[in-house]
Structure 1
Amino acid sequence: MYQDSIDDIQTVISVGQLAGTHDIEQNIASIERLARTAASHGSRLIVLPEAVMYAYTESGEKIAQIARQWGRKFESALKGIADRHGISLLAGAYLPTQTGRSSNTLILARPGAEPSLHYNKLHLYDAFDFKESEKHDVTALKSDFSELVTFDLDGFTVGILNCYDLRFPEMARLLVEKGAEVLVVSSGWVAGPLKELQWETLLRARAIENTCFVAGSCQPAPLSTGLSMIIDPMGAVTSGAHEGEALATSTLSKKRLKLVRDKLPCLEQRRYSLLRTHTQ
């Protein structure tokens, strides 16, 4: 965190773009390479894709086996990278569950004594002929909305989404109602007709409608769309990646956030509040 004036608080974040392969040790090495570079650019957080621990195309049985064998070791590896390079990492993993299956979990590993955080994907991808609910446990909803995860980064409140969550604007709005000024989206946005357009459109929409920063990290082609990017509260892309393994970095500014929210006070002008009930 740094201040360029008495009125502004800033932080630097990166989105890392890479594929989750079948070689977990190789995936960890790739994550560390990107984290090291991001830290050298001054980043305090690197957002990595969904399922970067291991290829998401495998069967539910295989992923459950990998979760049991590697889930906690992968989390420990992320923590080691965070400590070595002084940067927080958000990365997609699989963790074992009591049902014998697995959870699609984003792990936030932070340097020093801060504990890791887990966000279990709320909206499983049962669309476009894909059936993610056949692979992973469905996350239970709670009356206090504690299934929605936010954390502090240098004075910014950050809310976490995972891939298909992006298509549900009420989730992003609930995170903003919990104080989120930045939304981070880890994704394996599956490639297909118009999918690149949908990915970018939805990222920009979540930024514009909530007047907040959005950082989206996606696995690259051929299985996913790539196009990782960081977007400011007016919907402008401030930094982005295109093909293959890549890194994009931007500075987030409280002054910029306040300027946009003062000029476009749509959050204050709402005449309908979000219906804060769960749909089972």
Structure 2
Amino acid sequence: MTAVQLSSRETPEQNLERVEHWLQQLPSQRPQLVVLPEAFSCFGAGDRAQLAMAEPDNDGPVQKRLAQLAKHYGVYLIGGTIPLQAGERFAAASLAYDPQGQRIGRYDKIHLFDVDVADNTRRYRESKWTKPGGSIVTIDCGFAVVGMAVCYDVRFPELFKALRQAGADIIALPSAYTQVTGAAHWHTLVRARAIEQQVYVVAPGQVGEHANGRKTYGHSLIVDPWGEIQAERAQGEGVISAPFERARLAEIRQQMPVAEQSRLKVALTQ
């Protein structure tokens, strides 16, 4: 499992070059799951520019390039999020591709970041530009079932419970956490979701100060089902990797069978 930490620029072309650069640094172990950060293709451009860049579903240069990269490097690739056309707004769509370059999943971010933060941006209103999704999504990568979530979703544990109920062994969490909220809550939230649902969490982030003025926290993480951090990159672009250990996952779930003991189930929408 690999998370790619980026400091995304304004244009998809710049960012796709950076993605390929880091894919060239992948470890040799296979099968390989690679997760890119939220808004990896155009985070530095700002919300209005993302709307202008939004592609039709299953068509457009960013989607085609993601498919090519997955096939070329022989990986399961989750393309963070990219903007896809959704009427007057765009969908923040997390797209998954298999090693043959076929798209095997699309998750539209459900929980939108409409909050006030004590930073230089101060007021965040994602819902002005982004249309929320309404369905949970898992993908079968052969070696594991991967649940899909994005950034602010991590504050809503019911989504993660639904993903575990749907069979998730790993949850991919592409993110772009602010420096303020990241320093306060990022590690605690990611570890808590992993512990609660007994899953691996692969959580790549944006990092640094971007052209749109936003400052992101970095600290990309891979956390195991016991809540232990297996890999972390605090600052700067780069990749982190950790193995998916099926036996460890099974042992933790067998010794503490919380999913079977839960007396409250979440209604699934897929």
State the TM-score, normalized to the length of structure 1.
0.85
Alignment of 1:215 with 2:202, yes or no, is yes
Greater shift after overlay, 36-45 or 259-268?
36-45
2:94 partner amino acid: L
User: What is the aligned counterpart of 2:33 among 27, 34, 45?
Assistant: 45
Identify the residue that residue 148 of structure 2 maps to in structure 1: 160
User: What is the aligned counterpart of 1:266 among 233, 258, 262?
Assistant: 258
CA separation of 1:73 and 1:133: change in aligned 2, threshold 3 A: same
Identify the residue that residue 187 of structure 1 maps to in structure 2: 175
Gap regions ≥5 residues in structure 1: 1-12, 142-146
Alignment of 1:234 with 2:221, yes or no, is no
Deviation at 1:124, TM superposition (A): 0.9
3-state DSSP of counterpart to 1:239: strand
Deviation at 1:228, TM superposition (A): 0.5
Deviation at 1:275, TM superposition (A): 4.5
Identify the residue that residue 18 of structure 1 maps to in structure 2: 6
Name the % identity.
27
Question: 1:147-203: CA deviations, max 9, x gaps?
Answer: 1110112331110100111100000000000011111100011221x5224111111
Tell me the C-alpha RMSD between the 2 structures: 2.0
Question: 1:118-159: CA deviations, max 9, x gaps?
Answer: 1111111111221000011122x3xxxxx1110112331110
Deviation at 1:68, TM superposition (A): 4.1
Alignment of 1:257 with 2:244, yes or no, is no
Question: 1:60-104: CA deviations, max 9, x gaps?
Answer: 3x221111499721010011111111112112211112x132111
Greater shift after overlay, 172-181 or 15-24?
15-24
3-state DSSP of counterpart to 1:63: helix
Q: Distance in 2 between matches of 1:89 and 1:56?
A: 22
Q: Is the 8 A contact 1:106 1:118 kept in 2?
A: yes
Greater shift after overlay, 107-116 or 183-192?
107-116
Gap regions ≥5 residues in structure 2: 117-122, 210-214
Identify the residue that residue 7 of structure 1 maps to in structure 2: none
CA separation of 1:225 and 1:217: change in aligned 2, threshold 3 A: same
Deviation at 1:277, TM superposition (A): 7.8
Question: 1:190-220: CA deviations, max 9, x gaps?
Answer: 221x522411111100011111111111101
Q: Distance in 2 between matches of 1:121 and 1:169?
A: 14
Identify the residue that residue 82 of structure 1 maps to in structure 2: 70
Identify the residue that residue 203 of structure 1 maps to in structure 2: 190
3-state DSSP of counterpart to 1:276: coil
Q: Is the 8 A contact 2:200 2:222 kept in 1?
A: yes
Q: Distance in 1 between matches of 2:199 and 2:227?
A: 9
CA separation of 1:65 and 1:159: change in aligned 2, threshold 3 A: same
CA separation of 1:112 and 1:138: change in aligned 2, threshold 3 A: same
Q: How many residues align?
A: 256
3-state DSSP of counterpart to 2:92: strand
Alignment of 1:276 with 2:267, yes or no, is yes
State the TM-score, normalized to the length of structure 2.
0.88
Q: Is the 8 A contact 2:233 2:240 kept in 1?
A: yes
Q: Distance in 2 between matches of 1:206 and 1:55?
A: 25
User: What is the aligned counterpart of 1:137 among 118, 131, 140?
Assistant: 131
2:65 partner amino acid: A
Deviation at 1:254, TM superposition (A): 1.1
Greater shift after overlay, 32-41 or 235-244?
32-41
3-state DSSP of counterpart to 2:189: helix
Q: Is the 8 A contact 2:71 2:100 kept in 1?
A: yes
Q: Is the 8 A contact 1:213 1:231 kept in 2?
A: yes
Q: Is the 8 A contact 1:72 1:95 kept in 2?
A: no
